[in-house]
Structure 1
Amino acid sequence: VNGSPVGLHVKGISHTILLDDMKKSRTFLDRNLQEIALNIFAEETAGEFYQRDAIEPTYTKIFDYKPQYNETSFDFLKRLSARYGQWFYFDGMRMQFGQTKTSKVKLINGASLHEFGIETNLVSHKTSFGGYDYNLASNINASEAKTNTGSVDSFAKVVLDRQASVSQPNLNVGAYTNQAQNATDITELAKLQTAGRDANSVFYTGISYLPIGLGQVFTIQNQTVEHELVAIEVIHHSQIHGNYKCEFKAIPADVAAPHYTNVEKFRKAKSQSAKVYDNNDPEELGRVKVEFYWGAGSTKSEWMRVVQSYSGEGRGVYNRPEIGDEVLIDFEGGNIDCPFVSGSHYNGKAKPEFFDSKNMIKGWKLRFGQLFKFVEKVGIWLSDPSGNEIHLDEENKNVTITTLGTLTLNCKNLVLNVDQNMSTNVNVNKTDIIGVNHSENVGGLKTIGIGGDFNAIVEGKYLEHIKGNFESTAEKDRHDNGKQSLNHNTGGDLNKNAQKEIQNNSGEQTRHN
């Protein structure tokens, strides 16, 4: 410290060291920035060095899911403050998150202020982003040529008003971002980043003989012009005999976002395993929720999509992981805020049922036992636990269909071609119903064996045409009945033989020619 006795050097770190002790990984669900910050401050500073009224973020939306990943809590809050345009600093006494502190300090150039300097930064403020909204399956984009909420500081306004001279007006080609999930988000993103660039338009520097704290709002009077500023850098000097001064760097206090705002700031993550704890997606998109293997604390995610090998409207492959499954999580662009399921893993407790040393077996098996299995050079099986099975026997070149219930074929036309033999075995009853015609051709012998009666009911004519002999044998009686007439015609002889009597009876006359 300048002004300390010779040989004594004092070096200190602010109380933010309490938040910067070790890296952590955890998730915050359904929380806003204030709730996240208060939770961290209360947990890691034991309630010291912060006051609730100093934790007032201007960004108040609730996050469905906000992860802290392999970073200290200080770095996490620092990242959030840059991403959402919030002031975050330690003012020497308390942590501040969200807004700046006002004060009555007024510096007069040439009296309490010396070496006063002004630096303008005439650069482009324009911003243009494009992204993707998967809920609407549409491109989203937003752009801003300059901020509409810029500082009214005289020098800052010069930079703002002259944007057209330092940048081309074309905003059509922008940068891709996955930080926005819908049109509202990407519009906010563009406006916030433009406001952050506006905060870098002008910088004020000087040496003050009055104490100024980091993040403190104060006033400079330069002749007849006043500038209301916020200190962004301060170096304090305690000199011999207790004389004090400080060097500062400041920006206009009315900027809409801090100068370090960076809406594209995110924490990078690599692919990792997780366990599914919910798969009943209310939006019916096949998404899942997972628990990360991050140790103690909250490690649950929000809904994330699952990669499919083939997908599209009215088509695709659909496999949704089961609760308890181990899945592989990846991140869009490495962004920890944008996880998705890229695959599933077997593990020591859930081993593959299809494993074989020669890797001949492939297949799918569902949780209730439905099975689709391929064994190379052997066959294919499609089965369920009820006993239904279709088996394609590659070794013996057979196909077997098995069911313990009813097998029904519904089709317009059915053609069965059998090169050799065909057998049909029915243990109980068989019914054939034919709506129009029935044709049957037998190239050789046709044999019908009936254990009981044989009934033929014909509503029209009954015709038999036999090129060879016709023999009919009844081991008991035979009756030929015709309600009208009964005719026997032959081109040759008609012989009737009986071992006993032949009786010809007629209710009327009988003729013999």
Structure 2
Amino acid sequence: MQTPLGSDTFIVRRFEYVEELGEPFQLTLELESAETEIAAEQLVGKQFTVTIPLSIGGSRYFNAFMESFSRLSQDGRLGRYRAVGIPWYALLKRTQNSQIFCDVNLPDMISQVFAKFPFASYNVLGFYPRTKWESRTQYRESCFNFIQRSLQQEGVYYFWTHEQSKHTLNSCDNVSNHAPFPGYKKIPYLTAERGQESQEHVYEWNIETALQPGSAVLKDYNYAEPTNELLVTGPAKQPLGPGPLEVFDHPGLYQTKSDGDRYAEIRIEEMECRQRVFRGRAQCLGLAAGFTFSLQDFPVASENGTYLTTTMRLTLGDVAEAEEDGRQGSLVGPAGSASGSAYWYDCEFAAIASSVQYRSRFSAVVPQVFGLQTAFVHAPDGQDPKTPYTDQLGRIQLMFPWSRDGQQTAWVRKAQVMAGDGWGHMHCPRQGDEVLVAFEHGIVDRPVIVGCLYNGNTKPPLPLPDAAHIHVFKDQGGNLFTLNPQEDGQTVTLSSPVASTVLTLGGDTPNPS
């Protein structure tokens, strides 16, 4: 075991490595050391590597960042410790940010986020064409959750590879992105009675078939093309069950039917890949989530085939411990041990047919915006402050107070008093105006301006509270329309700064005819 304290500080007494496609791994170690007072600060947050020799030659590395380090006990001669390792990606759970990305697709957005972390190591194995989001917002969430939910929405998952001094996140989205673990293309099935423990093998193999929905149905609405029908259906390829088991969701988080079709397909693949799962145990060090293997010599001939490992738990421990607990396992040594002693090991795993497309569960939390927020109208440098910055739909861009990097939003609609085809009311806020913003379905990427606000710098057009009884409409040029409801003095006034033109209806002074 190589740590910042060297390669001979610790003896690994127990090793447990757990991984799943599309999730961070976890490595838990129980250690012994002649050093009884090791300062955790020397290890926590640092990288370490456990090296396990393989029976086929070479070694398998497990590299991680140490998340925690605990002293379990010490008897004066040896200290016992527990260490937990996690990937660099899981470190991003310890962040939180709010930021806006405009006109960006998934690969570019991932690159921008990961570029802020010098310890990030990732590899893109293949993204098919992705949606270019008009707006994608990280809102009061960790960078981990933001990337995780974006990957899951787009049907992208990942697996881990380890080297002597680093580990790498490999993002993928297709069955063609997977290959056998080096040296373990074929793994035989052998029962314990056949006495083949010297050969790495699968010794337990079960199949689990579970009922899943028969279709995923999504719907959404695109206000830029309001008559477009965006209802889409993703049917299961091999449905089970007595009738139409349908999962429907709205909004589906898409703006075109082609994106909707793809999202519906991803959702049904997410469920269908869990319809037929193979679970097993093996005395094998070459099983890894994201890698394929060919099962050989299983008594049911139809199940001899190629599989993709989706989850894996590899456990190693002292031989004496295994004998006490009655565990079944093969021996390997020295597995990072300074003593050169042998270790037992065992592997539990789950797999699916390699021809089945895997998708991660959509388990990440999508942040919701509760209530209203304020924002300020944005315009580019050089824009005349008296001229609204808008587009053909009367939309404007905003700057939220929480946008630390000064990134404005994409175009945002503004609610009007009336809105018809060629008729209605229109008011476009100017640069710097404060507005009140709501969010459709609580989705941060779907803001709508529902009102305008005065503040300490932007004051009402008439002095308050003295003129609080007057209803007033005044534009930036000084044109004024007021309604004075005071009893016995009701007036309606129209005025313009051009030639000081004033028209008053009601009151004591009639207008000249």
Q: Do both share a fold (TM > 0.5)?
A: yes
Q: Distance in 2 between matches of 1:37 and 1:308?
A: 37
The structure, 1 or 2, with the larger RCO (C-alpha pairs under 8 Å, 6+ apart) is: 2
Q: Distance in 2 between matches of 1:64 and 1:254?
A: 34
Letter of the 2:443 counterpart: N
Q: TM-score, normalised by structure 1?
A: 0.68
2:270–2:359 Cα contact (<8 Å) kept? yes
Q: What SS does structure 2 have at the residue aligned with 1:118?
A: strand
Query: How far did 1:361 drift?
Result: 2.0
Pair 1:400-2:491 in alignment: no
Pair 1:196-2:270 in alignment: yes
Compare 180-189 and 35-44 and name the one that shifted more.
180-189
1:84–1:261 Cα contact (<8 Å) kept? no
Q: Distance in 1 between matches of 2:399 and 2:159?
A: 33
Which of the residues 228, 233, 241 maps onto 2:311? 233
Which of the residues 471, 482, 492 maps onto 1:373? 482
1:26–1:69 Cα contact (<8 Å) kept? yes
Q: What SS does structure 2 have at the residue aligned with 1:374?
A: strand
1:223-302 counterparts in 2 under 5 A?
223=299, 224=301, 225-240=303-318, 241-261=342-362, 266-270=366-370, 271-278=372-379, 280-282=389-391, 284-297=392-405, 299-302=407-410
2:153–2:263 Cα contact (<8 Å) kept? no
Q: In the alignment, which residue of structure 2 is the partner of 1:25?
A: 98
1:83–1:265 Cα contact (<8 Å) kept? no
Letter of the 1:229 counterpart: Y
Q: Distance in 2 between matches of 1:212 and 1:248?
A: 8
Pair 1:117-2:206 in alignment: yes
Q: Distance in 2 between matches of 1:72 and 1:236?
A: 29
1:91–1:214 Cα contact (<8 Å) kept? no
Change (3 A) 1:219 1:365: farther
2:159–2:170 Cα contact (<8 Å) kept? yes
Q: TM-score, normalised by structure 2?
A: 0.68
Query: How far did 1:33 drift?
Result: 0.9
Query: How far did 1:215 drift?
Result: 2.7
Q: Distance in 1 between matches of 2:252 and 2:439?
A: 10
Query: How far did 1:280 drift?
Result: 3.9
Pair 1:144-2:233 in alignment: yes
Query: How far did 1:386 drift?
Result: 0.5
Letter of the 1:103 counterpart: P
2:131–2:259 Cα contact (<8 Å) kept? no
Change (3 A) 1:257 1:203: closer
Pair 1:214-2:300 in alignment: no
Change (3 A) 1:253 1:298: farther
| Root-mean-square deviation over aligned CA pairs | 2.8
Q: Distance in 1 between matches of 2:291 and 2:409?
A: 38
Compare 74-83 and 11-20 and name the one that shifted more.
11-20
**1:87-132 per-position Cα deviation (integer Å, ceiling 9, x unaligned):** 1354451122234542243322226112222111222231222322
What are the ranges of 5 or more consecutive residues in structure 2 without an aligned counterpart?
Answer: 1-12, 16-29, 33-79, 191-199, 319-341, 380-387
Q: In the alignment, which residue of structure 2 is the partner of 1:79?
A: 149
Q: What SS does structure 1 have at the residue aligned with 2:229?
A: strand
Q: What SS does structure 2 have at the residue aligned with 1:117?
A: strand
Q: In the alignment, which residue of structure 1 is the partner of 2:124?
A: 54
Change (3 A) 1:281 1:390: same
Q: Distance in 2 between matches of 1:399 and 1:117?
A: 96
Q: Distance in 1 between matches of 2:274 and 2:228?
A: 31
Q: Distance in 2 between matches of 1:311 and 1:341?
A: 14
1:335-484 counterparts in 2 under 5 A?
335-357=443-465, 359-377=468-486, 378=489, 379-387=491-499, 389-392=501-504, 394-396=506-508, 398-400=509-511
Change (3 A) 1:112 1:351: same
Q: Distance in 1 between matches of 2:463 and 2:281?
A: 75
2:316–2:346 Cα contact (<8 Å) kept? yes
2:220–2:231 Cα contact (<8 Å) kept? no
1:268–1:335 Cα contact (<8 Å) kept? yes
Letter of the 2:346 counterpart: K
Q: Distance in 1 between matches of 2:215 and 2:315?
A: 39
Letter of the 2:213 counterpart: S
Q: How many residues align?
A: 381
Structure with greater strand share of residues? 2
Q: Distance in 1 between matches of 2:400 and 2:410?
A: 11
Q: What SS does structure 2 have at the residue aligned with 1:254?
A: coil
Pair 1:64-2:134 in alignment: yes
What are the ranges of 5 or more consecutive residues in structure 1 without an aligned counterpart?
Answer: 151-159, 402-423, 425-513
1:390–1:400 Cα contact (<8 Å) kept? no
Q: What SS does structure 1 have at the residue aligned with 2:221?
A: strand
1:28–1:36 Cα contact (<8 Å) kept? yes
2:102–2:410 Cα contact (<8 Å) kept? yes
Q: Distance in 2 between matches of 1:312 and 1:121?
A: 51
Query: How far did 1:49 drift?
Result: 4.0
Letter of the 2:227 counterpart: S
